[in-house]
Amino acid sequence: MRFTGALTSPRMRQILTPSGALVDEAPMDDALASRLYRAMVFARTYDRKSMALQKQGRLATYAPFEGQEAAQAGSAAALEVDDWMVGTYRDAAAMWMQAYPMELLFAGRTGHEHGGRVPEHVNVLPPSITVGGHMVHAVGLAWAERLQGSSRIALTYFGDGATSEGDFHEAMNMAAVQKVGTVFVCQNNGWAISLPTAEQTATETIAEKAIAYGMPGVRVDGNDVFAVYAATREAVGRARSGEGPTLIEAVTYRMGPHTTADDPGRYRSEADREEWVRRDPIERLRVYLSERGRWDEDWQMRIEEQASSEVERAIVLAESLRAPEPEEMFGAMFAEIPPHLAEQLAEAKAAP
Amino acid sequence: MRFTGALTSPRMRQILTPSGALVDEAPMDDALASRLYRAMVFARTYDRKSMALQKQGRLATYAPFEGQEAAQAGSAAALEVDDWMVGTYRDAAAMWMQAYPMELLFAGRTGHEHGGRVPEHVNVLPPSITVGGHMVHAVGLAWAERLQGSSRIALTYFGDGATSEGDFHEAMNMAAVQKVGTVFVCQNNGWAISLPTAEQTATETIAEKAIAYGMPGVRVDGNDVFAVYAATREAVGRARSGEGPTLIEAVTYRMGPHTTADDPGRYRSEADREEWVRRDPIERLRVYLSERGRWDEDWQMRIEEQASSEVERAIVLAESLRAPEPEEMFGAMFAEIPPHLAEQLAEAKAAP
Amino acid sequence: MTTTIAQALNRALDDALAADDRVIVMGEDVGRTGGVFRITDGLRDRHGGDRVVDTPVAESGIAGVGFGMAVAGMRPVIEMQFMGFSYPAFDQIINHVARIRNRSRHRFSAPMVIRIPYGGGIGAAEHHSESAEAIYVHTPGLKVVAPSRPSDAYGLMRSAIDDPDPVVVLEPIRLYRAVKEELADEPEFVNIGIASVENEGRDLSLISYGAMMKECREAVKRLTDDGISTELIDLRTLTPLDTEAVLSSVRKTSRAVLVSEAPRTAGFMSEVSALISERAIFSLSAPVRRVTGWDTVFPLKRSEHLYLPSTDRIVAAARSTVEESV
Amino acid sequence: MTTTIAQALNRALDDALAADDRVIVMGEDVGRTGGVFRITDGLRDRHGGDRVVDTPVAESGIAGVGFGMAVAGMRPVIEMQFMGFSYPAFDQIINHVARIRNRSRHRFSAPMVIRIPYGGGIGAAEHHSESAEAIYVHTPGLKVVAPSRPSDAYGLMRSAIDDPDPVVVLEPIRLYRAVKEELADEPEFVNIGIASVENEGRDLSLISYGAMMKECREAVKRLTDDGISTELIDLRTLTPLDTEAVLSSVRKTSRAVLVSEAPRTAGFMSEVSALISERAIFSLSAPVRRVTGWDTVFPLKRSEHLYLPSTDRIVAAARSTVEESV
Ligand SMILES: Cc1ncc(C[n+]2csc(CCOP(=O)(O)OP(=O)(O)O)c2C)c(N)n1
Ligand SMILES: Cc1ncc(C[n+]2csc(CCOP(=O)(O)OP(=O)(O)O)c2C)c(N)n1
Ligand SMILES: [Mg+2]
Ligand SMILES: [Mg+2]
């Protein structure tokens, strides 16, 4: 028997077309659709504001997610409030939807460790900066919940680039072997910094990698919030009922640079990007809602204002955090400060 | 689109049945078949002798490969003499066929570093003791050959357990992306020490893991030297002609313990093993050759004697190596001994 | 009952599994076969396959999954089968296990134990004799312990499992069955961070930990016979180091010999030496001397004797330290 | 031409690619975009995509593939994008790259260069400011260099590429564009293993390497103004260490301050201190002092100043060392 990678068509599941037409049953009612629309407007406002703040030197390097709002909002919306989420530097929208406070997202970006201090009831890990290493954490989290008799599951986000790391493989394999309730969401945004997905992997899709683990793999239009939501809801259901993990590939595009330190002009053409402007995740939901009488200019203005003021509130809060004291740096390494760190703290405080 | 692991039947390619019947075209003439038969007899003699020597305390821990002779001999036979081979602690038969001197195999097992000092013209790396890490080496070797305009390819052996390591994934992916001439041969012998393959992975086969890399995967009866040879010859052909890597799963069984330090009674039943006695890789080729008038008791006795005397020769040589001098230990770290090691050497020699 | 280190560790794990539902033992071959050194022997039968888990061969995954479990409230005890196989897990350990408390400013933590059999002397294959503890010691956010006797093995393991932070437990392979001790019916926990003065002395401080304690104990006997009064310190914990125990001993004896089988350069004993240099230099009457492994790969069976510090080497270093004194 | 360290490294790679067909540059984003620090800028255009290769995001794979290439006769120069991302490659580096020569008793070797941008000070995210050189120094079989000026960056990189053994090149991120120097039309190779005495002095030896040299140079100026004659040593190579340079300086000045931004415990400066202790203790008139980073995670932007040794801290340590002297 010879297995090859071309066994299945790499068809991508879509429910809402770029022009806002339904091609399948809508997976949610208008109320939830409106809520997701609003969330995506908030997310884009946050993202663009972050880019602007970074240019002003008020944030450190920033990794924008414009274009990926549906992939994040659609998947995050399928979780219960206390499910675990383990995402990356580019997943602020999803994390915020899972109740990671926006001011903490900003705080992290201003270079303040307080940004990682998630509130007690929020089960979201601070964003992973290393690529790949965090997916196994989501396996351990979900496994522990099962052992403790809870029905909480874990969802983890990662990029196309992360699928090349060994830890992706170990996470997928261990989750599948143990039928752990982990949902793997790959936002395939076409690029890992300067490397196009076609040079990242020789497969046509990321979803088919699931086959190597005996795990279902699904490929969805990542700019279609309905398709992302539907696929994630299904995967979350499987995870929660003990049927095991699922890999979801959300096909999307990073509209901006990798980070504010990156110059995409070095490796990709503007034409590519133009193509994706037409597939904007927010615009298609706007058309849909509008056709159903759930959108008008007024509401748009209102939610944009709400978004701006929420973002503003969060920035003010983040920027008014006092600078971390040496006590906090030395005191956060262990539950109790050990003697050598107490000595070093004293030395640091006495230093000129 | 939803991908699942059950896309293809996990059928296993077989040419020579356990009872020695051809069910497909023989991939080799009688001369080569006889040569391989003889090689497998040598291998088994080496293996059983090693077990005996270990019991006498003349070898350190030994990892026997009885049952896997066809998987190793059939694949190694498909290589050119100067192709690269990168195997593990359990691949002595294959390495020996690729001209790794038997005395060096023994030397390594007596705990003598000289065992790794492969002759200049032999392109076989010393056996990998860590699980998983060596497969990427075979990718680099084959890639380098291509860059240097050579047609040499690289073949790497590993077990079912090794497929769970991140490095397996990184090796497979990088080889596929770069269409490197590497042949990946997994000897799925059912166990990774005490872990059965069913707990190692949730897929039915190892071969289907190739799909995740856009690489062909083949599953063969690993105790059928014809099937292994045919599959490897094909993969080697692809590799040499620039078509890229292949994953071969040779389904086999470890008849003995994991190593001489292992007690398989703790984790598997004797009944399992009995089943595999009937699928012995050597016996079926004997029947085949015998039916074609290429085997008789006389010849059997002759090659067994040759095997014993070759093994004896190698042991004598390995055991008569003088103990390594401190100079060799300190002198092998760098091309030229650096000052700190020269000092340590002096200190070691002066030590009481 | 006379107990080996192997038995003491087994008992500590058994007791911890019985005492605390959150404890889970995970690793390659730790279940059905009881671990390649039988340290986890019988635990799966007694506590079930859900709590004593045979994992795929994936060290990074084991460490990362253990991390996730710890964050979610479990107390995983993971095993790296040999220290030479712990390197694939290094990224998980340094970048995540050791850091989540700081990254989240105490919101999350990773109370887990990483068991690592270490050290040479059993004539094993390559990678089976490593002593890379310096790497773990140099990683902020980890505690590192290295028992050398059954009571400490039991007591430190129990403390490690109960510790709110990640603890690396270095298990001295060649002492697993070579050191025996009576163990109480309910053995004591041993606090992390406290060295043990095994022998008091006036002329020299001999400082070591883990597997090398055996040779050090023999050396003390021989030195005492020679009239050199030797203070023997078993550090037991490498991080956080009991600096007071080291410094007060050296201040008293004015001489120190530091013994470890790890490669010398930038090994853990460099740290102990630097510490003495910084804080007790004016008490010294001789150079601080390290007796260590060499900066080579740990050799195979036939060369092990060239590598491992012998009692002879320790005794010679101690003697010349005493003789060299100003 | 006035050249930065970044430019000098770029030129060294360019010249090596031109001089030797066996050289290949590999890593994440080193090709089309010229590396996140632009160190490999233009190399792909000039030498082609076969020789300057953008790889998938897979550090262990990059190191292992580079290893295979080196064994087969190439001279790979691989990049770890930041030191914090080199940990997944650690197993490949310690277990294979550093050992194949010994394992095969010279039959095979891995002449390759592992480029690792390291150190803090640019306000980066977590994992982007690491200084874990001690780990590499503690690994037998590797050479480790850490230039602090353009001419050394060029010369050590060329020597590293030509070296028959694996060399880790630590590139000081915050000096990439902060230190400038005239570079000759045909810059010299710089031998591995030789420290540089940047400033001669009588009262104190200030010893450092890599990124901290900038603060050390400032400290020397201030100390000299204060009348403390300071000998400044740039180690340049960490393995093999130029012990003679260290010892002869300390024997002359009788005092040493060692500066590194790595966490203190079991850091590389512990080794230098231990060395001095062993070989020059009777020349010392003051304790050897380390000025280092702390045993914490390297902090984010707003706390960097709490972590990185400042010129002030170095000057204070130097002054008190001189004052404390017996
Ligand atoms: C282990 C590790 N290696 C390298 C990096 C540097 N790096 C940061 S993002 C990135 C690309 C990741 O691409 P992808 O996974 O597709 O995510 P995206 O940035 O596109 O969201 C790389 C290589 C890192 N952060 N961690
Ligand atoms: C990185 C690493 N982890 C763990 C081990 C210990 N170990 C040696 S062999 C083995 C099982 C390997 O099983 P498999 O790959 O199926 O090969 P087999 O022994 O069956 O030939 C393990 C876990 C090792 N050698 N290297
Ligand atoms: Mg991407
Ligand atoms: Mg196996």
What CATH number is associated with residue D312?
A: 3.40.50.920
Q: Looking at the domain assignment, is residue B151 inside a domain?
A: yes
Residue D244: count of CB within 10 angstroms of its CB: 11
Same domain? A49 vs A190: yes
Q: Looking at the domain assignment, is residue D100 inside a domain?
A: yes
Please give the positions of B annotated as active site. Answer: 254, 258, 267
- How far apart are the C-alpha atoms of D96 and B211, rounded to whole Å? 29
Residue A352: predicted pLDDT: 87
What CATH number is associated with residue C156?
A: 3.40.50.970
Size of chain D, expressed as the number of residues it contains: 326
B10 band by pLDDT with thresholds 50, 70 and 90: low
Same domain? D134 vs D165: yes
Q: Looking at the domain assignment, is residue D308 inside a domain?
A: yes
DSSP track, B6-48: TSS----B-SB-TTS-BSS--SS-HHHHHHHHHHHHHHHHHHH
Residue D128 designated active-site:
yes
Same domain? C154 vs C237: no
Residue A93: pLDDT over 80: yes
Residue B188: pLDDT over 50: yes
Size of chain A, expressed as the number of residues it contains: 352
Mean pLDDT within A166-189? 98
Q: What is the pLDDT of residues D209-232, one digit of tens each?
A: 999 999 999 999 999 999 999 999
Q: What is the pLDDT of residues A130-161, one digit of tens each?
A: 999 999 999 999 999 999 999 999 999 999 99
- How far apart are the C-alpha atoms of B216 and B244, rounded to whole Å? 9
Q: Looking at the domain assignment, is residue B2 inside a domain?
A: no
Residue B79: predicted pLDDT: 98
Q: Looking at the domain assignment, is residue A2 inside a domain?
A: no
Rounded to the nearest 5 percent, the helix, strand and coil shares of chain D are: 40, 20, 40
Same domain? D238 vs D167: no
- How far apart are the C-alpha atoms of A212 and A175, rounded to whole Å? 12
Residue A45: predicted pLDDT: 98
Q: Domains in chain B: how many in total? A: 2
Mutate to test the pocket of ligand 2, among C57, C62, C130 (most ligand atoms within 8 A of CB): C57
Same domain? B312 vs B343: no
The SS3 assignment for C256 reads: strand
Same domain? B237 vs B334: no
Give residue A5's identity as a one-letter amino acid code.
G
Same domain? C123 vs C17: yes
Same domain? A279 vs A347: no
Instruction: Choose, out of D28, D30, D33, the residue to mutate when testing the contact with A (most A CBs < 10 Å).
Output: D33
Q: Domains in chain C: how many in total? A: 2
Q: Are the CB atoms for C168 and C141 separated by under 8 Å?
A: no
- How far apart are the C-alpha atoms of B62 and B318, rounded to whole Å? 15
Q: What is the pLDDT of residues B165-180, one digit of tens each?
A: 999 999 999 999 999 9
Mean pLDDT taken over chain C: 97
Q: Looking at the domain assignment, is residue B66 inside a domain?
A: yes
Same domain? A317 vs A331: no
| Contact list, B142 vs chain D (CB under 8 Å) | 68
Q: Looking at the domain assignment, is residue C189 inside a domain?
A: no
The SS3 assignment for B256 reads: coil
Ligand nearest to the CA of B161: 2
Same domain? A211 vs A339: no
- Ligand 4 centroid from CA B131, angstroms: 10
A184 band by pLDDT with thresholds 50, 70 and 90: very high
Same domain? D9 vs D38: yes
Residue B313: count of CB within 10 angstroms of its CB: 12
Sheet with B182-188, side-by-side order of all strands: A2-3, B217-221, B246-251, B182-188, B154-159, B84-86
Q: Looking at the domain assignment, is residue B3 inside a domain?
A: no
Instruction: Choose, out of A88, A113, A168, the residue to mutate when testing the contact with D (most D CBs < 10 Å).
Output: A113
Nearest protein Cα to ligand 2, atom 23: C57
Same domain? C84 vs C167: yes
Write a three-state SS string for chain A.
Answer: CEECCCCCCCCCECCECCCCCECCCCCCCHHHHHHHHHHHHHHHHHHHHHHHHHHCCCCCCCCCCCCCHHHHHHHHCCCCCCCEEECECCCHHHHHHCCCCHHHHHHHHCCCHHHHCCCCCCCECCCECCCCCCHHHHHHHHHHHHHCCCCCCEEEEEECHHHHCHHHHHHHHHHHHCCCCEEEEEEECCEECCEEHHHHCCCCCCHHHHHHHCCCEEEEECCCHHHHHHHHHHHHHHHHCCCCCEEEEEECCCCCCCCCCCCHHHCCCHHHHHHHHCCCHHHHHHHHHHHCCCCCHHHHHHHHHHHHHHHHHHHHHHHCCCCCCHHHHHHCCCCCCCHHHHHHHHHHHHCC
Report phi then psi at A171, rounded to 5.
-65, -50
Same domain? D200 vs D305: yes
Same domain? C177 vs C271: no
Same domain? B163 vs B71: yes
Residue C276: pLDDT over 90: yes
Residue C115: predicted pLDDT: 98
Provide the 8-state DSSP code for D97. Answer: I
The SS3 assignment for D181 reads: strand
Closest chain D residue to the Cα of A319, Cα to Cα? D302
The SS3 assignment for D292 reads: strand
CB proximity list for B299: less than 8 A, separation 6 or greater = none
- How far apart are the C-alpha atoms of A334 and D14, rounded to whole Å? 46
Same domain? C102 vs C16: yes
- How far apart are the C-alpha atoms of D157 and D16, rounded to whole Å? 9
Provide the 8-state DSSP code for D294. Answer: -
Token digits of residue A151: 């029905």
B352 band by pLDDT with thresholds 50, 70 and 90: confident
Same domain? D244 vs D144: no
C1 band by pLDDT with thresholds 50, 70 and 90: confident
Q: What is the pLDDT of residues A208-229, one digit of tens each?
A: 999 999 999 999 999 999 999 9
Is the Cβ of B344 closer than 8 Å to some Cβ of chain C?
A: yes
* Residues at CB less than 6 angstroms from ligand 1: A 90, 129-132, 158-162, 189, 191-193, 254, 258; D 28, 57, 59, 81, 85, 88
Is the Cβ of A212 closer than 8 Å to some Cβ of chain C?
A: no
Asked if A174's CB is within 8 angstroms of C61's CB, the reply is yes
Q: What percent of chain B has pLDDT over 70?
A: 97
B5 band by pLDDT with thresholds 50, 70 and 90: very low
- How far apart are the C-alpha atoms of B101 and B84, rounded to whole Å? 15
Nearest protein Cα to ligand 1, atom 13: A192
ipTM over 0.90: yes
Token digits of residue D30: 């080193």
Mean pLDDT within A293-319? 98
- How far apart are the C-alpha atoms of D277 and B344, rounded to whole Å? 17
Cα C87 from chain centroid?
17
Q: What is the dihedral of CA A176, A178, A184, A190, to 10 degrees?
A: -40
Q: Looking at the domain assignment, is residue A126 inside a domain?
A: yes
Token digits of residue A147: 């052992």
Q: What is the dihedral of CA D134, D135, D137, D142, to 10 degrees?
A: -160
CB proximity list for A45: less than 8 A, separation 6 or greater = A304, A307, A308, A311
Q: What percent of chain B has pLDDT over 90?
A: 96
- Which H or E run includes C238? strand C237-239
- Ligand 3 centroid from CA D87, angstroms: 21
The SS3 assignment for D79 reads: strand
Residue C326: predicted pLDDT: 79
Nearest atom within ligand 1 for CA of residue D127: 25
Same domain? A220 vs A146: yes
Asked if A139's CB is within 8 angstroms of C65's CB, the reply is yes
C96, C127, C128, C305: which is the annotated catalytic residue?
C128
Nearest protein Cα to ligand 2, atom 8: B131
Q: Are the CB atoms for D105 and B119 separated by under 8 Å?
A: no
Work out the minimum CA distance from A83 to partner chain B, whole angstroms.
24
Mean pLDDT within A291-311? 98
Same domain? A165 vs A281: yes
Nearest to D168 by CA among D106, D83, D102: D83
**Within chain B, how many helices (H) and strands (E) appear?**
13, 8
Give residue B258's identity as a one-letter amino acid code.
H
- How far apart are the C-alpha atoms of B231 and C257, rounded to whole Å? 61
Mutate to test the pocket of ligand 2, among B69, B131, B156 (most ligand atoms within 8 A of CB): B131
Largest CA distance in chain C: 62
Using the Cα atoms of residue D271, residue D277, residue D279 and residue D284 in order, give the sign of their dihedral.
Answer: positive
Report phi then psi at C270, rounded to 5.
-60, -40
Nearest atom within ligand 1 for CA of residue A259: 19
B3 band by pLDDT with thresholds 50, 70 and 90: very low
Point out the domain boundary residue: D182, D216, D237.
D182
Same domain? B342 vs B274: no
Q: Looking at the domain assignment, is residue A3 inside a domain?
A: no
Q: What is the pLDDT of residues B87-107, one digit of tens each?
A: 999 999 999 999 999 999 999
Same domain? A350 vs A267: no
Same domain? D26 vs D139: yes
- How far apart are the C-alpha atoms of C126 and B108, rounded to whole Å? 10
Mean pLDDT within C54-68? 98
Q: Mark the ranges of chain D whose per-residue pLDDT is less than 70.
A: none
Token digits of residue B190: 């059912």
Asked if B61's CB is within 8 angstroms of C316's CB, the reply is no
A10 band by pLDDT with thresholds 50, 70 and 90: low
Same domain? D237 vs D144: no
Is the Cβ of A32 closer than 8 Å to some Cβ of chain D?
A: no
- Ligand 2 centroid from CA C14, angstroms: 26
| Contact list, B133 vs chain D (CB under 8 Å) | 64, 91-92, 95-96
Provide the 8-state DSSP code for C42. Answer: T
- Which H or E run includes C172? strand C167-172
Same domain? B230 vs B352: no
Report phi then psi at B72, rounded to 5.
-85, -50
- How far apart are the C-alpha atoms of A295 and B37, rounded to whole Å? 78
CB proximity list for A155: less than 8 A, separation 6 or greater = A75, A76, A79, A83, A84, A85, A86, A138, A182, A183, A185, A232, A236
Which residues pair with residue D172 across a beta bridge?
D118
Q: Looking at the domain assignment, is residue D117 inside a domain?
A: yes
∠ Cα B146 B150 B154 (to 5°): 65
Mean pLDDT taken over chain B: 96
Q: Looking at the domain assignment, is residue D270 inside a domain?
A: yes
What CATH number is associated with residue B102?
A: 3.40.50.970
Domain that holds residue A54: 9-321
Q: Is the pTM here over 0.90, yes or no?
A: yes
Point out the domain boundary residue: D159, D182, D205.
D182
Domain that holds residue D231: 196-323
Q: Looking at the domain assignment, is residue A267 inside a domain?
A: yes
Mutate to test the pocket of ligand 1, among A90, A129, A131 (most ligand atoms within 8 A of CB): A131
Q: Is the CB of B162 under 6 A from ligand 2?
A: yes
Q: Is B351 exposed, middle or buried (0-12, 13-18, 19+ CB in 10 A)?
A: middle
Q: Looking at the domain assignment, is residue D188 inside a domain?
A: no
